[in-house]
Structure 1
Amino acid sequence: MEADKEKLLQGSEFCFRSGRLYCESVNIKDLQATVEKLYKSPFYVYSKAQLQKNISDYCTALNQSGLEHKLYYSVKANRNLELLRIISSSGCGATTVSGFEMQIAMQAGFPPCNILYNGNGKTMEEIEYAIRQGCMLNIDSQFDAAHILEAAKKLHKTARVLLRLNPDIDPNVHPYITTGLRLSKFGIIDQHLPTVVELVQSSPCVEVIGLHCHLGSTIDDLGVITSMCTYLLQKTRELREKGFGSIRCINIGGGLSIDYKREGGAVPTPAKLIAEIQKKLKGEKVQIILEPGRSIIGSTAILVTKVLGVKSSPSKTFVVTDGSMTEVIRPSLYSAYHHVDLLDYTAVTGDEGDKTLLDIVRARQSQICLLYCISEYCVFFTQQA
């Protein structure tokens, strides 16, 4: 059993050694005892080494691809300041979805010129802040274009923008995290694109530097990325012919899935993703922008919780932990899978073949949130004495 556990997390900075879970060189059970003297349970544990490896995987593949490129981190995935400082020090840019995220990205060291302000509901105050600071913005709709033009004119500044397009491509993920279908709230559909183009062409205060698409999250079908690249390349050529010679970027978004189920090789790696992009865009006069979030930060963390007790009914057995939706919302929000395991198997007795299906439940809505935002990859809990 120990050998199987050690193989399960092979290649990760979270691994079992002699039946105990470690993060890098730290025994998590020992860490739990230390942390609970200062704080309360539950708490997150992050691996700096894993974070740096995840960034390096993208950078290495991009550098080997021969594509002109820029790697941006999607701040909404986790905006913890210390983590952002590590990411900014690696040379990444930042994609943000609010004025607060722009502020914290700059506080973490991201240069404003490498910050992109995205979203379909930007306020005028946030738009003006982005333009004043020199951040890029995505135009998501007709009214969004009008607001950005108005703000740029008021400030007497040129806004650098990307047009976020809606390609109507199904990424085959949960509807709640699908963003590139015609029924999605994000992006400019083809029917409205001529109106937006006419608006921005009429203003000297806007420079269209690129196009952008984002299809959704937990993507494991690289074929949809290939289709999106084809779509973006076609639109780039069409708009350049209409006089948009300043278009030099294609932002392919993020959304790559991670190995939640510990199946090893079942989820595409950054290298495979970039290899597919290279097939479509190599030789084209464009800079590729990728903005991953989950696949940068997701595997860097665990949530450590404690079992408060076990209760049974005729049809179910509930293991009640001190975690809650505050710490891990995705399973309840859209039935997402999260791996659950023990921190320490050394005291486990009994026949390994005897298995019982359990419901892992949370005790309450926690009043404690140690970090700005959660990074869910797996949940580990300890047996209560």
Structure 2
Amino acid sequence: MNSTELPGHPHIAYRDNALFVEDVRVSDLARDHGTPLFVYSTASMREALAAYQRGFAGRKLHICYAMKANSSLAMLQFFARQGCGFDIVSGGELERVLAAGGEAGKVIFSGVGKTRAEMRQALQAGILCFNVESEAELEVLSEVATALGKRAPVSIRVNPNVDPKTHPYISTGLKGNKFGVAHERTLATYQRAAALPGLQVVGIDFHIGSQITEVSPYLDATDRLLDLIELIEAAGIPIHHIDFGGGLGINYNGDTPPAADALWQQLFAKLDARGFGDRQFMIEPGRSLVGNAGLCATEVLYLKPGEEKNFCIVDAAMNDLPRPAMYQAYHAIVPLQPRTGSPAQEYDVVGPVCESGDWIGRDRSLAVQQGDQLAVLSAGAYCMAMSSNYNTRGRAAEVLVDGGQAHLIRTRETAADTFRNEHLLP
């Protein structure tokens, strides 16, 4: 059997002119479950996770999957079974972790806008740590914890003012971003945290952005963080763990992010040289674990030629794949079964939603006909998690592939599902 793996997409390959995820033909899944359809590879996720584990071999490490990337229950269950904890940003995400069999004691709660109710929920569940993002949040968290007779374990997220060299919407470590405590205010913030009765300082963290493809931003941010740790500990406040966040990029369109193990080899050279190599470490990868493990299968509904543009109209839309509309993001688009001998034409691949922003790919060279099926690649992260019911479109089904087995992990929503919680007037 001839097999050609797609570059940057492990375990997604053409075999005898048909696209497979591991040992399952994607067109068979599309036939059985319809389109649009998200398909994920467990082998790809396991391989991505292993790179982090190799990078931290011999170190004290706690990996928390950043579940905002893809929060489907079976995906969370998969990572819990691999021993991972979870990075959450809402009370609803905490409920998902627990429903999937995750442990509250392995949960880190990030985010700039935690409510009092969410704080109480997390404290009662017994989470590992709150990543606090403002001085005002410290005061409220201490009040909530004290009222419950508890002390909240806290790590303060530092904004190191480092340019991650990524899209401005997913940059989080610059002065103009809403995240974290300003570098200049860090010591004073830690001193206040140490003085509050409802808090216990346990760590420090940074997260400078997402889809980072260079090592230098991590190295620069690490230098700044280690300087701060020395300053904070000199003031008598011990830092037990160092949290490096996530943000490592993936290959969408010829991107060349460092491998996770190679990145950490460089970071540990710096940490060891400065005497920090034996600390407890936390990391919160998301996209780099699931992004290239997934694809979205979609059917070509119509081909619409025009004077300036040819349009390939598919049944997936911006409600299924919001990243192009939100970030002008690139996703490779390939046929499930390539047409041999058919001439390719240039198309804008667009969806059925009534918005000009409903596009999946611009200026793509495709040999397609009406009724063909395509795969939108790199769809494992920030696609299903950000999907919506705009235009009363039910969210897509999801399938998780493990070798030759395919597990339906989300049933396609019906129109009735989308308005189940609405009420008519009397």
Fold agreement, TM-score > 0.5: yes
Structure whose residues are more often strand by fraction? 2
Tell me, in whole angstroms, the C-alpha distance in 2 between the residues paired with 1:339 and 1:315. Answer: 22
Alignment equivalent of 2:86, drawn from 80, 94, 115:
94
| Corresponding residue number in structure 2 for 1:278 | 268
Please report how far the alpha carbon of residue 184 of structure 1 lies from its aligned counterpart in structure 2 after TM superposition.
0.3
Please report how far the alpha carbon of residue 195 of structure 1 lies from its aligned counterpart in structure 2 after TM superposition.
4.1
Q: Say what the alpha-carbon RMSD is for the aligned residues.
A: 1.9
| Corresponding residue number in structure 1 for 2:167 | 174
Partner SS for 1:280? helix
Matched-pair identity in %: 30
Aligned ranges for residues 293-372 of structure 1 at < 5 Å? Answer: 293-345=286-338, 347-350=339-342, 355-364=344-353, 365=390, 367-370=393-396
Contact 1:252 1:289 in 2 (8 A): yes
| Corresponding residue number in structure 2 for 1:55 | 49
4+ residue stretches of structure 1 with deviation over 6 A? Answer: none
Structure 1 residue 19 and structure 2 residue 9: aligned?
no
Please report how far the alpha carbon of residue 355 of structure 1 lies from its aligned counterpart in structure 2 after TM superposition.
4.2
Contact 1:71 1:291 in 2 (8 A): yes
Aligned ranges for residues 124-273 of structure 1 at < 5 Å? Answer: 124-135=116-127, 136-245=129-238, 247-261=239-253, 263=254, 266-273=256-263
**Corresponding letter in the other structure for 1:111:** E
| Corresponding residue number in structure 2 for 1:375 | none
Partner SS for 2:51? helix
Partner SS for 2:146? helix
**Corresponding letter in the other structure for 2:49:** I
Partner SS for 2:4? helix
**Corresponding letter in the other structure for 2:117:** E
Please report how far the alpha carbon of residue 109 of structure 1 lies from its aligned counterpart in structure 2 after TM superposition.
2.2
Tell me, in whole angstroms, the C-alpha distance in 1 between the residues paired with 2:147 and 2:5. Answer: 60
Tell me, in whole angstroms, the C-alpha distance in 2 between the residues paired with 1:191 and 1:56. Answer: 36
The total of aligned residue pairs comes to: 357
Q: How high is the TM-score relative to the length of structure 2?
A: 0.80
**Corresponding letter in the other structure for 2:242:** I
**Corresponding letter in the other structure for 1:292:** P
Please report how far the alpha carbon of residue 134 of structure 1 lies from its aligned counterpart in structure 2 after TM superposition.
1.4
Tell me, in whole angstroms, the C-alpha distance in 1 between the residues paired with 2:16 and 2:56. Answer: 37
**Corresponding letter in the other structure for 1:254:** G
Return 5+ residue gaps in structure 2 as ranges: 354-389, 399-426
Deviations 1:287-344, CA, capped at 9 Å, x for gaps: 2211000001111111000000011211110000001111111111111110001000
Deviations 1:40-71, CA, capped at 9 Å, x for gaps: x21111112222222122112211xx332211
Please report how far the alpha carbon of residue 371 of structure 1 lies from its aligned counterpart in structure 2 after TM superposition.
5.9
Specify whether residues 57 and 371 from structure 1 end up closer, same or farther in structure 2 by C-alpha distance, changes over 3 A only.
farther
More off after superposition, 7-16 vs 206-215 = 7-16
Return 5+ residue gaps in structure 1 as ranges: 373-385
